[in-house]
Structure 1
């Protein structure tokens, strides 16, 4: 009994604050409901240009991430920890819809756009970065609450 009480207290007292849901009634669409959609996230891949501002997402909410490369260099975006912290709905490239189980990175050889739609799942701070770069402007922190 004492072990159960201690475990319950440790769990409840050390737990992070719980974010409120984006909608009260998900309806038939569930987590994909229109009322459960967060603000779109935009990242631009360009040689020597910052990726963008850090982002905070809510666990259980549906988001789109638009990654646009301007073609100034062959650039990739990697973030296996982030990609494992979300449920990927689809990736759309040139009107081709891909429904992957998992990805580690995306690489752009030329100018183009990839749009990822997903549900944020695992709380924590995850980083997307240009591989081989070391500057803070060549990464973006995505926090899931």
Structure 2
């Protein structure tokens, strides 16, 4: 083994415990550790019903999981390209199938079902998820990333 390879291997092996003891407070999984995860209240897709009870306030650098539930009363979608570009989507789970997309523009339910999205909030700002073609305030969900 040459000297450079030996040095790199030694540095990599000794860096692990130092990171675990860092001031960040996260475990070896870093920002994806359980201590940095928060469950959000679900979004409900139902004809004529509000999407959510209140706006969402998120913290940049925190991992969130949210369920989107559709009751099948109508074919409904959620659009919010700006929001989806302000987060890093870890996975989308639908009926036990895990999808790891590169990006997202919208989601749509043709029938009743549940979708869970796990994501990391990144870019601070104010964003909106909304039912396309709707004008009512209850068909919008305001999201702030601090």
Q: Give the SS at the match of 1:59.
A: coil
Q: Return the alpha-carbon distance in structure 1 between the equivalents of residues 124 and 41 of structure 2.
A: 17
TM-score by structure 1 length?
0.82
Partner of residue 13, structure 2: none
Q: Give the SS at the match of 2:30.
A: helix
Provide, for residues 47-85 of structure 1, a one-character-per-residue CA deviation record: whole Å limited to 9, x for no partner: 000001200000000001110000000000110000000
**Does the CA contact (< 8 Å) of 1:77 and 1:128 recur in 2?**
yes
**Does the CA contact (< 8 Å) of 2:90 and 2:119 recur in 1?**
yes
Partner of residue 10, structure 1: none
Partner of residue 47, structure 2: 47
Q: Return the alpha-carbon distance in structure 1 between the equivalents of residues 32 and 102 of structure 2.
A: 18
TM-score by structure 2 length?
0.82
**Does the CA contact (< 8 Å) of 1:38 and 1:57 recur in 2?**
no
The unaligned stretches of length 5 or more in structure 1 are 1-22
More off after superposition, 26-35 vs 54-63: 26-35
RMSD, aligned CA: 1.1
Report the structure number with the largest CA radius of gyration: 2
More off after superposition, 49-58 vs 39-48: 39-48
The unaligned stretches of length 5 or more in structure 2 are 1-22
**Does the CA contact (< 8 Å) of 1:41 and 1:63 recur in 2?**
no
Please state how far the C-alpha of 1:40 moved relative to its aligned partner.
2.1
Q: Give the SS at the match of 1:102.
A: coil
Q: Return the alpha-carbon distance in structure 1 between the equivalents of residues 70 and 139 of structure 2.
A: 14
Partner of residue 138, structure 1: 139
Q: Return the alpha-carbon distance in structure 1 between the equivalents of residues 119 and 41 of structure 2.
A: 11
